Amino acid sequence: MSWLPPLALGFWGVVLLQAWASGRLNLLLRADFHGLVLGAGLALLLLALASLRWRPQRRSRLIPWTALLMLWAALVVLATPPRPSLSTLAANRSASDLGASPLSFLSPPEQRSLTDWVRLLRNQPDPALYGGEPVRVSGFVLAVPGQAPELARLLVRCCLADATPVGLAVRWPPGRPWPQPDQWLKVSGVMGVEQHQGAARSVLLAQQLIQIPEPARPLEP
């Protein structure tokens, strides 16, 4: 069984390389870390091959079940890609504070992303400033208990574990059921004003909804 540890190591190299090549990392990690995963995958694969080629005279002791567990886990991870429910994930997290990040003031309203809009509304929350401005944004449908669902994106600083949602209040077209959570939509409309919990707030008055596939990079930095 001396081949088992190098095999387990090699499979983890394959897992990391496959995650990088298949775009799986786009769903799990911020792009800054992708190069690191690629490098680690290559290194693990090379080390496994070297270890199979050159056997030492005296082997180090290994806790018996670890190589088997690592090999099994690598195969399971390889065979089972992640398909998280972003809505479920976001429901468990507080809305992200976008801090004092620079605003896209120069972008015309219809070119602002959902994150740009949320950032703008938090920095200058006066709804009167944006009434009637055209909006074209995309995001996933985030269920909000007791209220209409929002359109949201997930911001990630490191990996999916720290993802936090940013959501835009939407008044969905009347006469149609609300969209299902986790659906990805491109929403066109205009910014309006509504009363919410005794205060005026900006709301996206949706006019056109187009269902879109999940983007290649669903997480935003």
Judged by the rule CB under 8 A, the positions of this chain that interact with other proteins are 5-6, 8-9, 12, 15-16, 19, 24-25, 27-29, 33, 36-37, 39-40, 43-44, 47-48, 50-51, 54-63, 65-67, 69-70, 73, 77, 80, 82-85, 87-89, 91-94, 96-97, 99, 155, 157-162, 164
* CB-nearer residue toward other proteins: 89 or 103: 89
Q: Residue 166 pairs with which residues in a beta bridge?
A: 153
β-strands 170-171, 199-211 pairing: parallel
Q: How would you classify the pairing of strands 164-168 and 150-155?
A: antiparallel
As a whole number of angstroms, the distance between CA 78 and CA 74 comes to 6
Closer CB to other proteins, residue 155 or residue 185?
155
The length of the chain is 221
The amino acid that residue 132 corresponds to is G
| CB closer to other proteins out of 122 and 186 | 122
User: Is the Cα dihedral 38, 40, 42, 44 positive or negative?
Assistant: negative
Provide, rounded to whole angstroms, the least separation between the CB of residue 8 and other proteins: 6
Nearer to other proteins, 181 or 192 (CB): 181
Smallest gap from Cβ 48 to other proteins, in A, equals 8
